[in-house]
Amino acid sequence: MTDGPTFAAEIGRRIRELRRARGISLSELAHRASVGKATLSALESGTRNPTVETLYAITAQLDVPLAAVLADPGARAAETVHGEAVSAELLETFDDRDHITELYRLRIRPGRRQVSPAHPEGVTEHLTVFAGTARVGPLDAPVVIPPGAHASWRSDVPHLYMTETGEEVHAALLIRHPRA
């Protein structure tokens, strides 16, 4: 156990800083992200653990990659965030002239379905499956990815994550955000 702030408190601090830097009120961000004002307030104060779905909804409205709230610039996140079906651990962020690329270790739990909200325009996701079989991609056209295979899709629309079989999926996920 560390003496420093909790992971949830650090995420909350980063959300608050990004929101304030953009001149957006807590109420306005909650409305834009379709998140309750009390939920957003609790996240910012670090008293509520965020789900990956909620973080994606918030970061999309702040026009930043998920990594912007998971880790300080230049740092690696040692924690995992969880959603309804997905657990994601940020491994690395790559920042070049044209894109910010996030690399995650991803697990998709069987028997659950997760819909991620649309990311900002032009964001793409690239999933490589190592074990299990995944059904992922835009809600209107998901694809099945068996072990050893790869797929890419535009993620600026709501998109799906689930297993195709009863087996947990282990994968690597790259999310590429174009520079504004």
Q: Which two tokens stand for residue 107?
A: 């697990």
Q: What's the pLDDT at 73?
A: 57
Query: Would the pLDDT of 2 be above 70?
Result: no
| Mean pLDDT (whole number) for 16-35 | 94
Residue holding tokens 């709501």? 158
Query: Would the pLDDT of 3 be above 50?
Result: no
Helix axes of 26-33 and 52-62: crossing angle, nearest 10 degrees:
110
Helix axes of 37-45 and 7-21: crossing angle, nearest 10 degrees:
120
Residue holding tokens 């807590």? 26
Q: Supply the mean pLDDT for the chain.
A: 90
pLDDT in tens, 50-79: 888 899 899 989 988 888 888 765 555 557
Q: Rounded distance, CA 31 to CA 22, Å?
A: 15
Tell me the domains of the chain and their CATH numbers. Answer: 7-70 (1.10.260.40), 80-178 (2.60.120.10)
Q: Rounded distance, CA 102 to CA 90, Å?
A: 7
Query: Would the pLDDT of 42 be above 90?
Result: yes
Handedness of CA 179, 54, 32, 40 (dihedral sign): negative
Sheet with 143-145, side-by-side order of all strands:
113-116, 159-163, 134-138, 143-145
**What is the Rg, in whole angstroms, of the alpha carbon atoms belonging to the chain?**
16
Query: Where is average pLDDT lowest: 3-17, 24-38, 45-59, 122-136?
Result: 3-17
CA distances from 17 to 11, 45, 48, 72 (A): 10, 12, 17, 12
pLDDT in tens, 100-139: 999 999 999 999 999 998 998 999 999 999 999 999 999 9
DSSP E strands, 109-149 = 113-116, 124-131, 134-138, 143-145
DSSP at 78? -
Q: What's the pLDDT at 171?
A: 97
Q: Rounded distance, CA 62 to CA 154, Å?
A: 19
Q: What's the pLDDT at 63?
A: 87
Q: What's the pLDDT at 75?
A: 57
